[in-house]
Amino acid sequence: MFQGETAITIDDKGRLAIPTAYRDPVARVCAGRLVLTYNPFESGCLFLYPEAEWERVRDAVNQLPGSLSAHRRMQRCLVGSAAHVELDGNARISVPASHRAAVGIEKKAVLLGMGDKFELWSEQAHHAQIRQVITDEDLSGQLLELKL
């Protein structure tokens, strides 16, 4: 559903405007209600889910057994830090200061459409991650062969 890369500017009040190309799909899919949370796998990035997709993810994460510390960390990172955000009349959302600070998002950021969600990256972290080369070892054990 969501795909593409868009450079984003965060204003002085911590708001970002949802790109025009995504406004209708976001309104249609979730009536402008989204959930912002940390990416537990990579630093410098937040996840931004449509509300219904978030509920599916939240329920799956909450079903993980709390007896494992990795599961508890995942639950804290995703569920414990989740913030409900809603598009305002100008199609903007407010990104909480704590979330921006934790991942290093200042004025410039990058919004990536990743199918069922968005990733919101600090500009520096996004540039660093796209410079990384995928190696054969990264793909070891994968059954799927991609033809690019």
Residue 75 sits in a domain whose CATH number is 3.40.1550.20
**46 neighbors 98 (Cβ within 8 angstroms):** no
Rg (C-alpha) for the chain, rounded Å, is 16
Residues 6+ apart with CB under 8 A from 96: 14, 36, 83
Structural domain includes residue 147: no
Structural domain includes residue 140: no
Structural domain includes residue 148: no
Structural domains in the chain (count)? 1
pTM given for the model? 0.89
Token pair 């500017």 is found at 9
List the pLDDT tens digit at each of the 148 positions of the chain. 899 999 999 999 999 999 999 999 999 999 999 999 999 999 899 999 999 999 999 999 999 998 899 999 999 999 999 999 999 999 999 999 999 999 999 999 999 999 999 999 999 999 988 888 777 677 665 555 554 4
